[in-house]
Amino acid sequence: MLSKKMEKAFNDQIKWEFYSAYLYLSLASYFQGLGLPGFANWMNVQFQEEQFHAMKMFNYVLEKGGKMQLQALDAPPHAWKTPLASFEFALNHEYHVTKRIGDLMDLAQKEKDHASAIFLQWFVSEQVEEEANFGDTVNKLKLVGDGGGLFLLDRELAARVFVPPPAAA
């Protein structure tokens, strides 16, 4: 059974995971509007990953006998000055998500909720990957600038696909 504090913290984080999905869907629309379908694809894959994260937590709360209290989502931004600015925005968002996951882990440890701490370890590791993926693209965007290299990077980002982690993960 989850403590009331853990239940509330998971409910709040689930909102953030769904908001993240919503944000990346907005970014996909932004890139589609710029004529960068590869960037849009990359963000659509990110959208799917964030939905997966939210549902993973959602199902965990229910498995632990907790109650779900879905919350309203704020509207995400819908326009950025440049592709680089949008990826820097998203990277900063991921830094915020990492802090939130860390706070959840701290609470699980304080509550001596070993099952939740073990469950959250997957998300701690996932955030390392999320920050690296966004950071890598930020660095590439800085290298290519606004020139023709943007279209080569668009082609590279078009190759990304969503592959759900194995059920045991």
Cα–Cα distances in angstroms (integers) from residue 67 to residues 9, 63, 120, in the given order: 12, 10, 18
Give, to the nearest 10 degrees, the angle between helix 114-144 and helix 83-110.
Answer: 160
User: Does residue 88 belong to any structural domain of this protein?
Assistant: no
User: Does residue 81 belong to any structural domain of this protein?
Assistant: no
Query: What residues make up the domain containing 53?
Result: 4-70+98-157
pLDDT 10s digits, 67-85: 999 999 999 999 999 999 9
Global confidence as pTM: 0.92
User: Does residue 82 belong to any structural domain of this protein?
Assistant: no
Residue 98 has pLDDT above 90, yes or no: yes
SS3 content of the chain, % helix, strand, coil (to 5): 75, 0, 25
Please state the rounded mean pLDDT for residues 135-156.
90
Which CATH number goes with the domain that contains 132? 1.20.1260.10
- The DSSP secondary structure of 121-141, one letter per residue, reads HHHHHHHHHHHHHHHHHHHHH
Number of domains in the chain: 1
User: Does residue 164 belong to any structural domain of this protein?
Assistant: no
User: Does residue 40 belong to any structural domain of this protein?
Assistant: yes
User: Does residue 103 belong to any structural domain of this protein?
Assistant: yes
The three-point CA angle 116-125-104 to 5° equals: 35
pLDDT 10s digits, 8-24: 999 999 999 999 999 99
Residue 30 has pLDDT above 70, yes or no: yes
